[in-house]
Amino acid sequence: MVFHDQIADSLAAQREQAFDVAVVDITMPVMTGLELIRELTKINPGTLAIILTGATDIATAAAAINESTVFRFYTKPSPAEVLAAGIEMALQEKEARAAKANSSVEAALGVATLNRLPTGVVVVDAETKVVFTNKQGAEFLAARDGLSIGPTGQCRTNKPKETAELARLVKIAIDGGESAVPHALSVSREDSDRSLSVVVAPLPASGLGSRVAVLLVSAPERQKLPSAETVSRLFDLTDAEARLAVALGEGHRIEDAADLMGITVSSARTYLKRIFSKTDVTRQAELVRLLLAAPVLLDLTPSRN
């Protein structure tokens, strides 16, 4: 029989090192087995329960099976080998639930990470049907300026010839598997003279329901430079030097950059010499390449109305 001190001991043990599986009798003098399970799962929701019942308790136990923490119930007396098999199955179920939870977390983290990238990511199947996009990829498709989604879900371009080439490159990527070489495609746009750059590459088949390829999409006007604060930290520049470096990276002439910063051209040239020395470059073009190679994440802070 289970008394007050035994229940207290069970709860204390649960707090110290949570049970993976708890086996309880549904009928006890101080509290029912279901009540004890509820107390145990308040401490650790991951504990699974196996409940032993008498013939008169079957209806109550059957109702309790709908509770997520109640894994099985067995009528008394239950042979030791049957109970042992039930415990083993409960342990396997717990591992399966943990793996599923971890997979969900990993998937959520993966999407959140992709949404912070300035590059559009569009995943397509063998028929070029879109099966996934990150935030930037969705924006490229929604804009319908170069890439779009057709009536049947296929990713397509504005020109039939380029759409056919995209399909060909996707087929190469999927048929070649992980050993396939990525291919590049320039996609024409109606609203700009500057094309979209699309790289088509295979994705590993592991864990995916079908063979897919990834399209990495970028546009010149969406090319992001790191913030002045990031540049300052990466290259040990002062705030003024970092702001000048970013202005030059954005394509401003040094005279225009000086004007934007409210400093003299002479001061800007002095800053530039210091920037060259600290970044170990000798030309402005090298500085721009260096800045473009720096990691960039999009700011996803919600806008305030």
3-state secondary structure string across the chain:
CCCHHHHHHHHHHHHHCCCCEEEEECCCCCCCHHHHHHHHHHHCCCCEEEEEECHHHHHHHHHHCCCCCEEEEEECCCCHHHHHHHHHHHHHHHHHHHHHHHHHHHHHHHHHHHHCCCCEEEEEECCCEEEEECHHHHHHHHHCCCEEECCCCEEEECCHHHHHHHHHHHHHHHHHHHHCCCEEEEECCCCCCCCEEEEEEECCCCCCCCCEEEEEEECHHHCCCCCHHHHHHHHCCCHHHHHHHHHHHCCCCHHHHHHHHCCCHHHHHHHHHHHHHHHCCCCHHHHHHHHHCCCCCCCCCCCCC
Q: Does domain 228-292 have CATH number 1.10.10.60?
A: no
| Averaged pLDDT, 125-148 | 90
CATH code linked to domain 118-222: 3.30.450.20
Quote the CA–CA distance of 32 and 39 in Å, as a whole number: 11
Quote the CA–CA distance of 186 and 197 in Å, as a whole number: 5
User: CA 97: distance to chain centroid?
Assistant: 20
Question: For all residues of the chain together, what is the average pLDDT?
Answer: 82
Structure confidence at residue 268 as a pLDDT band (50, 70, 90): very high
Q: Answer with the residue of higher pLDDT: 305 or 15.
A: 15
Which of 36-50, 115-129, 130-144, 185-199 is predicted with the least confidence, judged by mean pLDDT? 36-50
Please list the residues that pair with 101 across neighbouring strands. none
CATH top class, domain 4-112:
alpha beta
Q: Answer with the residue of higher pLDDT: 56 or 37.
A: 37
- The pLDDT value given to residue 84: 87
C-alpha distance from residue 302 to each of 112, 228, 298, 305 (Å): 14, 21, 12, 10
- The pLDDT value given to residue 48: 85
Tell me: pLDDT of 162 over 70.
Answer: yes
Tell me: pLDDT of 8 over 70.
Answer: yes
- The pLDDT value given to residue 1: 37
For CATH 3.40.50.2300, list the domain ranges present in the chain: 4-112
User: CA 9: distance to chain centroid?
Assistant: 42
pLDDT tens profile 244-258: 999 998 889 999 999
| Averaged pLDDT, 165-180 | 87
- For 302, the token pair is 């919600």
Q: Answer with the residue of higher pLDDT: 110 or 215.
A: 215
With 0.85 as the threshold, say if the pTM is over it: no
Which of 30-34, 76-80, 93-97, 98-102 is predicted with the least confidence, judged by mean pLDDT? 98-102
Quote the CA–CA distance of 108 and 144 in Å, as a whole number: 27
C-alpha distance from residue 251 to each of 223, 225, 262, 272, 284 (Å): 12, 11, 17, 15, 10
